[in-house]
Amino acid sequence: MLIGVPKEIKNHEYRVGMVPASVRELVAHGHDVIVEHNAGIGIGFTDHDYQAVGATIKDSAEEVYAEAEMIVKVKEPLAEERKHIRDGQILFTYLHLAPDVPQTTDLINSGSICIAYETVTSAAGGLPLLAPMSEVAGRMSIQAGAQCLEKSRMGRGMLLGGVPGVSPAKVTIIGGGVVGSNAAQIAVGMGARVVLLDRNIDVLRRINQQFGHSIETVFSSKDALEQHVLSAELVIGGVLIPGASAPKLVTKDMVHQMKPGAAVVDVAIDQGGCFETSKATTHADPTYIVDDVVHYCVANMPGAVPYTSTFALNNATLPYIIALANKGYKKALAEDQHLLNGLNVYRGKVTHKSVAESQDLEFVDPKVALGI
């Protein structure tokens, strides 16, 4: 198979779909890889590094899209990129389609085979291709939130961990999944007072076993959520419904009642965000103020640490890339239900139920669509 790796063009996005080591693996399996000029430069890999492991360098994204049978990316294709996606081409990347009607429409019209990292599942019930970036984003959320609390960022002017004789900031984390648990780890390490809310008692037990009395775990009722959001200096939103839009758990009224200079970090912004006041921002302009509350809603948070993020992502995606290339997409999907769960759009049909429901589109069972 001919695999193409274009350069990412989203604002301040320096990650790349495949590092040279991953390219080497595919070449060893007998496949050809084309890489756009300077695709890996953001993490220190030159065109020569890719050529040294057998890749061919192309001058433009147009050439990569025109030739490749499968496109491997990091972020969802922007409008400028989507016009190059063609009928029958495999697209393997993060898509986050549920809140993104224009992208969904373009991918349907393209006739391509679109497999989303974020909805591929595992036998344990997890999301193995989303987990690495959730780990990064969860840890980064506390770093970003700590900066948002600084007065120069219009924050409350608090040091997250306080100092002897001065109370630390209270951090409320909504959701105890991968994002939440990683956010909690960093927040505890920085000396903050941490409260984590979740509706799953087993999740709360796991968090309690992991952190002991250094974190307060709370069942997320409406009353508890409101209480701990309003009393916090920093609120982290880390909720996820696979493939679907994030639920708006924190209302405009709750944000209005938060402490002046408090901060929110919405890690769920890729799926629409879990604060009613959230709107996607970029690394170039990451924050805005609503009712004296600093909002950090960068839609590609891990892009700020592209070296770490790219390698973490490649570690997870490479086995699936090899399977798709070795077997062809139809056999690979037919033999792996968990990979099949990643199929969001197939030749004009929406094949992920949550995406279809979010946009009131017709859902076609992926097995029916594929004829398997």
**Alpha carbon distance 362, 111 (integer Å):** 16
Annotated active-site residue 12? The verdict is no
Annotated active-site residue 48? The verdict is no
**Alpha carbon distance 69, 340 (integer Å):** 18
For the CA atoms of the chain, what is the radius of gyration? 21
Which residue out of 31, 84, 96, 352 is catalytically annotated?
Answer: 96
**CA dist list (Å): 368 to 134, 159, 327, 334, 349:** 32, 55, 20, 11, 11
Identify the burial level of 346 via C-beta atoms within 10 angstroms of its C-beta, where 0-12 means exposed, 13-18 middle and 19 or more buried: buried
Pairing between strand 287-290 and 293-296? Answer: antiparallel
- Three-state DSSP at 121 gives coil
- Three-state DSSP at 30 gives coil
Which residue out of 31, 198, 270, 295 is catalytically annotated?
Answer: 270
**Alpha carbon distance 367, 265 (integer Å):** 38
The catalytic residue positions are 96, 270
